[in-house]
Chains A and B, each alone.
Chain A
């Protein structure tokens, strides 16, 4: 297993607010790495730094050995990184199939082509992806009218269209019911293991995290608070403190407690 993503001493501040402070971690292929932490811990900032939407103040990010500091999201995608968003972002006036075809067109560098209709270009590859995610029966429907759970799947299909080595998933199951969420993550895990992709994901649903992550990193107030396997993280006193709120400001509700049954599930 090789390091797909290496993050070294990442810093990012917005004015006086230190969003990410000296965060380092790495991710190997075939691995699901969950990034957790209370609201405002710096998860989304971390994501946007890796994805190229934000520039770090200090530190380095290597994707497959290449330093991507200051790269734009489109450059990061071209390295073989797929991204899904917390709030889904798809092409609403295009069908599900066309959304995936669009990603393929970009992957094969055909977006400036004016000489040929799209027609059935990359339809087979795209349908295969839709089938993999179980939404092939939605192929002809416009994304603008799709149910939220299906949109999340479309995003994943789009993210997989460039045969990525790294997937960045920002709250992949937000807005889904519990069983649908578990199903989607089960599916993601299968794909990741068979295609040998590395996944970094954030998630608020602890059942999803502890059931599916191979490793977990915990952020708190921008700093890396803990790192390890689900068992190690669950046993970590510091993590308990963060989530239970000892000595922390009030406002972190009981909902975010690590569920007691997650280990058995």
Chain B
């Protein structure tokens, strides 16, 4: 009995940090309408800064808690710097670009933290006066857990008072409800946004700082936490603080008791819980239905046109170049080109989904799924390469049908986060089911058949499959189905009222995109000879999204250009020690400098020239 009670209390104390981070995220999303991916990084910074401050300050309970509060304030100030110098320039840009700027910050904070605090995991200091444990019917519970259990409801009440009893709180709630109206009524948006961002960042920093005695600090905290915080925010309902608390408690308990039932699969359980909640209540436990139809504004006014004669000519020249390239370059370039082609196919399949208004954060599940399908066939059944490449897309198509069945019920941010959740489930299965998938060690020695083992042959094989796939997807965009996809993105209301079943079409598109991404994954594994869970992880999904955005969403050539640029850049930079810092800076620079992507900017500059 005591054991279960302690388990329950541990769950509650785990919920504390989760809640602090999630309610900050929720607050920022509610007012600024941006999904701040760097929120997890603020949590990590909170832990590191608190550790350094406590180590620097004198001993004692007073200085311990001072250190924690100071850490939260410092993280809040970092948030203000981010908001004032970066985000403020981007508020008029499409949502996805802001998302990417924040992802750039994630990468930068990663490397900066490694540089400042070292790569080793840090054990947090104990809270003075709370070092001991208390005995609950024979089971011990650390005293600090009690402190954590108390902190979350205190913050909840504090926030409630702040939001309901102060003028500032009223402005925040008004802006959450209707941003345009509150601005029309003369509310100073700039000031409101900055203060909300400050408070949200403080809360994330506080979350990281208070869990320090329990969990310490390490470099994986940021992405782990952002995934968990997403889950909590969408389960609780976007913008709802009590919802965030309830969801934190649920997830905390799930983690705490889940360990007893399925050890090491808590991640899976957490995301499964979210998938169930979102399927039953698409807007979360306390969430309200959001106004739709703002996605359309982003693309308004650009009609997709089939390639003009000049563009076709350019494409032909490119094809010839690709064909004769092996004569002029070494093996190394061929390998790079193979990778570019595969990523271009994945990006194109993602782009195809995006024409239907489905921005997925989990495309790596399809790519990695294809890679693992092929690798598992080879590893367990000694399947020849040709068959493995044939079956990989089919397997992923099936996976996409299953995932899609849940996801197409939602739209916008909720859709994106549910796809992220499913991708994370796939990743955790691959990561944890070591006896079948090799776990963290991956699957090795997956080599092509003899006839294709020469790099140059494999290059041509890849090119044929990828260019074929890209052209086919491009063709689909101009078929009646492709038109229907764009219609679904532009106006769900209108699509419904001209007799089209939106969900069914989106579901089909999901499966098609899965098949092509799976094909790319299947070929990829043979080009590398191995596959690791990283191919399914969150950063991989963002790689693909970034390739599409880098290329520009308004042009069909965008995904290809973006993949080429990104893969090449990545290859050049990944040799440096702090390459994530560099990539992060480049992300941010590109988003600020080319809000329409590379191909979009070329289109702007030279679009007239390419018209018939």
Residue of A nearest to B476 (CB): A114
Q: Are B486 and A91 in contact (CB under 8 A)?
A: yes
Q: Are A74 and B500 in contact (CB under 8 A)?
A: yes
Q: Which of A27-35, A116-124, A181-189, A231-239 contacts B (4 or more CB under 8 A)?
A: A116-124
- Given contacts A111-B500, A114-B479, whether A102 and B301 have CB atoms under 8 Å apart is no
- In Å, the complex CA distance between A171 and B415 comes to 33
Closest-CB distance, B295 to chain A (whole angstroms): 10
Which residues of B (547-590) have their CB < 8 Å from a CB of A?
none
Residue A36 CB within 8 A of the other chain: no
- Chain B residue numbers with a CB within 8 Å of A106 are 484, 498-500
- Chain A residue numbers with a CB within 8 Å of B479 are 113-118
- In Å, the complex CA distance between A74 and B500 comes to 6
Partner of B487, one of A73, A75, A102: A102
- In Å, the complex CA distance between A51 and B497 comes to 8
Q: Are B497 and A111 in contact (CB under 8 A)?
A: no
- Chain A residue numbers with a CB within 8 Å of B482 are 118
Residue B490 CB within 8 A of the other chain: yes
Residue B480 CB within 8 A of the other chain: yes
- Given contacts A77-B499, A93-B300, whether A111 and B505 have CB atoms under 8 Å apart is yes
Q: Which of A11-19, A82-90, A249-257 contacts B (4 or more CB under 8 A)?
A: A82-90
Which residues of B (472-486) have their CB < 8 Å from a CB of A?
475-476, 478-484, 486
Which residues of B (296-324) have their CB < 8 Å from a CB of A?
296-297, 299-304, 306
- Given contacts A93-B490, A158-B498, whether A98 and B297 have CB atoms under 8 Å apart is no
Residue A72 CB within 8 A of the other chain: yes
Which residues of B (267-306) have their CB < 8 Å from a CB of A?
293, 296-297, 299-304, 306
Q: Are B301 and A91 in contact (CB under 8 A)?
A: no
Question: How many B residues touch A, CB cutoff 8 Å?
Answer: 34
Q: How many pairs of A and B residues are in contact by the CB < 8 Å rule?
A: 122
CB 8 Å contact bits of A57-83 with B (1 = contact, 0 = none): 000000000000000111101100001
Which residues of A (90-115) have their CB < 8 Å from a CB of B?
90-95, 98, 101-103, 105-107, 110-115
Residue B150 CB within 8 A of the other chain: no
Q: Are B484 and A111 in contact (CB under 8 A)?
A: yes
Residue of B nearest to A75 (CB): B499
- In Å, the complex CA distance between A144 and B296 comes to 9
Partner of B303, one of A75, A94, A118: A94
- Chain A residue numbers with a CB within 8 Å of B491 are 89-92
- Chain A residue numbers with a CB within 8 Å of B297 are 92
- Chain B residue numbers with a CB within 8 Å of A98 are 303, 483
- Given contacts A74-B497, A91-B487, A93-B490, whether A110 and B300 have CB atoms under 8 Å apart is no
- Chain A residue numbers with a CB within 8 Å of B475 are 117
Q: Are B302 and A93 in contact (CB under 8 A)?
A: yes
Q: Are B480 and A111 in contact (CB under 8 A)?
A: yes
- Chain B residue numbers with a CB within 8 Å of A77 are 497-499
- In Å, the complex CA distance between A250 and B76 comes to 51
- In Å, the complex CA distance between A158 and B498 comes to 8
Closest-CB distance, B299 to chain A (whole angstroms): 4
- Given contacts A77-B499, A83-B497, A92-B296, whether A110 and B490 have CB atoms under 8 Å apart is no
- In Å, the complex CA distance between A121 and B480 comes to 9
Q: Are A78 and B303 in contact (CB under 8 A)?
A: no
- Given contacts A91-B490, A142-B300, whether A72 and B484 have CB atoms under 8 Å apart is no
Partner of A73, one of B478, B489, B497: B497
- Given contacts A118-B479, A142-B301, whether A93 and B498 have CB atoms under 8 Å apart is no
Q: Are A118 and B480 in contact (CB under 8 A)?
A: yes
Residue A260 CB within 8 A of the other chain: no
Residue B496 CB within 8 A of the other chain: yes
- Chain A residue numbers with a CB within 8 Å of B304 are 93
CB 8 Å contact bits of B81-97 with A (1 = contact, 0 = none): 00000000000000000
Residue of A nearest to B301 (CB): A144
Residue of B nearest to A116 (CB): B479
Residue of A nearest to B512 (CB): A114
- Chain A residue numbers with a CB within 8 Å of B299 are 92-93, 144
- Chain B residue numbers with a CB within 8 Å of A93 are 296, 299-304, 486, 489-490
- In Å, the complex CA distance between A101 and B498 comes to 11
Residue of A nearest to B478 (CB): A117
Which residues of A (35-59) have their CB < 8 Å from a CB of B?
51
Q: Are A94 and B301 in contact (CB under 8 A)?
A: no
- Chain B residue numbers with a CB within 8 Å of A83 are 497
Partner of B501, one of A74, A94, A117, A140: A74
- Chain B residue numbers with a CB within 8 Å of A140 are 303
- In Å, the complex CA distance between A107 and B497 comes to 12
Residue B464 CB within 8 A of the other chain: no
Residue B493 CB within 8 A of the other chain: yes
Residue B494 CB within 8 A of the other chain: yes
Which residues of B (442-479) have their CB < 8 Å from a CB of A?
475-476, 478-479
Q: List 8 A-B contacts (CB under 8 A).
A: A89-B497, A90-B494, A91-B491, A93-B299, A94-B487, A95-B303, A116-B479, A121-B480
Query: Shortest 8 CB-CB distances between A and B: which pairs?
Result: A144-B300, A77-B499, A91-B490, A92-B300, A144-B301, A89-B494, A113-B480, A111-B484
> Besides the contacts A89-B491, A102-B487, A111-B484, what 13 more A-B pairs have beta carbons closer than 8 Å?
A74-B499, A74-B501, A91-B490, A92-B491, A93-B299, A105-B480, A113-B481, A114-B476, A115-B479, A118-B480, A144-B300, A162-B498, A162-B499
